[in-house]
Amino acid sequence: MSNITFTMIKPDAVADGHIGAILGKIAEGGFKIKALKLTQLTVADAKKFYEVHAERPFYGELVEFMSSGPIVAAVLEKDNAVEDFRTLIGATNPAEAAEGTIRKMFARSIGENAVHGSDSDENALIEARFHFSGREIF
């Protein structure tokens, strides 16, 4: 698989009722859905998914938040998917995110920031396989 990225609609945005609006922005942005599900991370899942941030001061808070409620996990396809998706979602801190971006529109705060987007092609594949079996990716 090339040209794919992985995203999660995070617990804040699911709880705030933004699943439909965010999937709409993703479709408008030209991304095709290759895999999609409503699920919830265990604490152990969240620790493993965010392992690279283990030494960061916000790691504990991040793990607690990401396992606190249901999320939507998805694999998306588009040319230049990783970079274009990060443009569509905007800066990590919604206060710094550009107008019209998903985080500007729907995030609560820098920690509870509505969506995840993979940061490289390599991580997109790792993250997609973390959440989905081969049969679930189309």
Q: Known catalytic residues?
A: 116
Q: Is 58 in the site for ligand RTP (CB under 6 A)?
A: yes
Q: Is 122 or 138 the residue whose CB approaches ligand RTP more closely?
A: 122
In angstroms, the CA 70 to CA 67 distance is 8
Q: Is 19 or 110 the residue whose CB approaches ligand RTP more closely?
A: 110
Tokens 């396992």, residue located: 67
Measured in whole angstroms, the distance separating CA 33 from the mean position of its chain's CA atoms is 13
Three-class secondary structure of residue 43 per DSSP: helix
- The mark string for 109-128 relative to Mg ion (x by CB under 5 A, - otherwise) is ----------x---------
Where in 3-136 does DSSP place strands (E)?
A: 4-9, 32-39, 71-77, 115-117
Which among Mg ion, ligand RTP, none contacts residue 83 (Cβ within 5 to 8 A by kind)? none
Query: Which amino acid type is present at position 120?
Result: S
Measured in whole angstroms, the distance separating CA 134 from the mean position of its chain's CA atoms is 19
Q: How far is the CB of 79 from Mg ion (least distance, A)?
A: 21
Segment interacting with ligand RTP, rule: CB under 6 A, options 17-25, 36-44, 72-80, 111-119: 111-119
**Site residues (vs ligand RTP, CB under 6 A):** 53, 58, 62, 92, 110-111, 113, 116-117, 119
